[in-house]
Amino acid sequence: MKTGALRQILLITDGCSNTGEDPIAMAALAKEQGITINVIGVMEKDIIDEQGLTEIEGIALSGGGVSQVVYSQQLSQTVQMVTRKAMTQTLQGVVNRELQQILGGGNTVEDLPPDKRGEVMEVVDELGETVELNVLILVDTSASMKHKLPTVKEALLDLSLSLNARAGENRFSVFVFPGKRNDVEKLLDWTPKLESLTSIFAKLTTGGMTPTGPALREALTYFKKKRSLRSLLSGDDESFIEESV
């Protein structure tokens, strides 16, 4: 089975958006374009407020992804887990659609008897190992995130360690919001390695509003740009994987 690259946005934030478009609507828009949105809520000792929590879960739900709220100490382990989980979830969706074409009707893996599910799982595992993965990382740099940024940097380096253990290709890009001039600012263009983050993160300044919605909207355009450029260069039309679940 051949699939195109998986496209994910990983949003790392510690609370509620307070300006611009509704981020949940932007997440739904992303899903329509075949881009999955995962959200990680970073807590301090205090608990994230109810409103923030609802938004975090809402974005992931309508973005077809996974969300998780964690204390900053657990960030590394969570970031890689969430990314992998969302990847498997998407691939499962792909395999399920394929199965439905073979089996007909609304049949999914789960409708097969347990003994027959194993082989399907092997296909999902194999795809998870080999598929190309593009992750756009979107980091909230509003004032409250200031002392969490070193942990975020560690977690992202750890993520690239995890994903680069796969046989499949990875591409990462990193954006922060709010940017100096715009809602969102590019820190790192598409690259297979995140090591260069270390020096860039040291120079980051925090402050300002939390324009989560506008940041998501703009992030989507960076996938488009890359896609059109690549299809121009290679000339083949890649079948991008659509929504999951």
Task: Name the site residues for another protein (rule: CB under 8 A).
Answer: 68, 76-78, 81, 84, 88, 92, 109-110, 113-115, 117-118, 120-122, 124-125, 129, 158, 161-167
Cα distances from 8 to residues 29, 69, 147, in angstroms, run 13, 18, 26
Q: Is 129 helix (H, G, I), strand (E, B) or coil?
A: helix
Nearer to another protein, 77 or 196 (CB): 77
Q: What is the DSSP letter of 145?
A: G
Rg (CA), the chain: 18
Minimal distance, residue 59 CB to another protein, in Å: 16
Amino acid residing at 171: R
Amino acid residing at 4: G
CB 237 within 8 A of CB 29: no
Nearer to another protein, 12 or 219 (CB): 12
Nearer to another protein, 62 or 68 (CB): 68
Q: Decide: residue 199, CB within 10 A, 0-12 exposed, 13-18 middle, 19+ buried.
A: exposed
Nearer to another protein, 102 or 232 (CB): 102
Minimal distance, residue 82 CB to another protein, in Å: 10
